[in-house]
Structure 1
Amino acid sequence: MDNDNAAHWETAVLDGGPADGLRTRVSARPRVIQVTHPCPVDDRTDGIRVEALYLYLRDLGVTTEPLRYGFDAASP
């Protein structure tokens, strides 16, 4: 793989919410990270999935690794 075309990955840490302390790698410093968690579905067997959705917003004040993403409590 050509290193000039390779994605540049940086370490990021999620703060607060259900994924507090989780470390991940991101490319291109996205402003938002979406975390999902499966939820059980009762009385359905037709392949329907339900997932809880959580958003983490990048702390723009952190410019070196690990980048920080804070839980958005107002997210749907």
Structure 2
Amino acid sequence: MEDSSTKNWETAVLDGGPADGKRTRVTDRPRVIQVTYPCLPDGPEDGARIEALYLYRRDCGVTTEPLRYGFDAASP
């Protein structure tokens, strides 16, 4: 397993959607970043987690930091 301190981390900023303006660090320039927010269950809890899912796709035209990931409004 590779030590995370030796990886080439890059800063990325999320553009649009519920995480607009948030910054994160990524390695290997992933094409998609998944953002989740917890949802409260309506009724008794049975151990299931319910989360809202949002996808951000990398803008391949941005080649220097901060990388940009735009909100995909068509994501599930």
* TM-score, normalised via structure 2 length: 0.91
Partner-residue secondary structure (3-state), 2:6: coil
Amino acid at match of 1:68: R
Partner-residue secondary structure (3-state), 2:41: coil
Alignment of 1:1-76 (within 5 A): 6-76=6-76
Q: Distance in 2 between matches of 1:73 and 1:26?
A: 22
Identical-residue share of aligned pairs (%): 74
Aligned length in residues? 74
Q: Which has the higher strand share?
A: 1
User: How many Å apart are 1:44 and its aligned residue?
Assistant: 2.2
Q: Structure 2, unaligned stretches of length 5 or more?
A: none
Alpha-carbon displacement from aligned partner over 1:23-61 (angstroms, at most 9, x marks no partner)? 000000000000000011011222111000000000000
Runs of 4+ in structure 1 off by over 2 angstroms are: none
